[in-house]
Amino acid sequence: MKMLIAFISSVMRACFSFVRRLISLPGRLAGALLGEAALPPPAEDSPLVTDLEEELAQAKEQESNWKKVADAIWSWAAESLSVNQPAAIPIWLPRSLKEWMVGLTAEEVEALLSADKAAIEAHARGLYTLPGLRRVQRLHPIERWSPRPELVDPASEPSQEAICAPPQRHAS
């Protein structure tokens, strides 16, 4: 009798195992067709993931560098306007920017100084141009900036009073 019960239980286990495999067959076939393995993901990152992380780190570094460039351009513009002539250009800036900055007029530097640093960064990168500024390109160096208008003390100027005649009325 014991053997009969053991035989019946083994047949039942085999039947249940067969049914379970039969039920899971469509899922396993779909996984095999899509290239998915039943293995867990690897403990370390794949080469694709590490390459992507390196690219993201480089992009962040470049973004940080462009922010430094925009800060330097804005500082140069402020210094140039304060001394009313082009100031010394930082030597670490890219050559294309240095060749562009030497040819900016006083009006362009004022337009540059009135823009925010994000817009200066976009202009320097060539993403879009700021109004009143030429795009980043090689420019001929400016010989002399336009002279700053001299401030005149209004008290020293002779004043003229405007004499107005009273309004005339027309007879109707």
Which amino acid would we find at residue 122?
Answer: A
- Please answer whether residues 100 and 125 qualify as being in contact, where contact means their C-beta atoms are separated by less than 8 angstroms: no
This prediction's pTM: 0.56
End-to-end Cα spacing for the chain = 138
Residue-level pLDDT at 171: 65
HSE on the CB side for 75, CA within 13 Å? 10
Among 142, 75, 72, which residue's Cα sits nearest to residue 103? Answer: 142
Q: Which residue has the higher pLDDT, 51 or 74?
A: 74
Residue-level pLDDT at 159: 53
Distance CA 98, CA 81 (A): 17
Query: What average pLDDT does range 45-57 have in this prediction?
Result: 83
Distance CA 92, CA 71 (A): 13
pLDDT more than 90, % of the chain: 31
Query: What average pLDDT does range 17-43 have in this prediction?
Result: 72
Distance CA 76, CA 24 (A): 70
Distance CA 172, CA 157 (A): 45
Residue-level pLDDT at 93: 92
How do residues 61-81 score in pLDDT, each as one tens digit? 888 888 999 999 999 999 999
Across all residues in the chain, what is the average pLDDT?
Answer: 81
Is residue 147 over pLDDT 70? no
Distance CA 80, CA 110 (A): 10
Four-residue CA torsion sign, 113, 115, 117, 119 = negative
Distance CA 169, CA 146 (A): 50
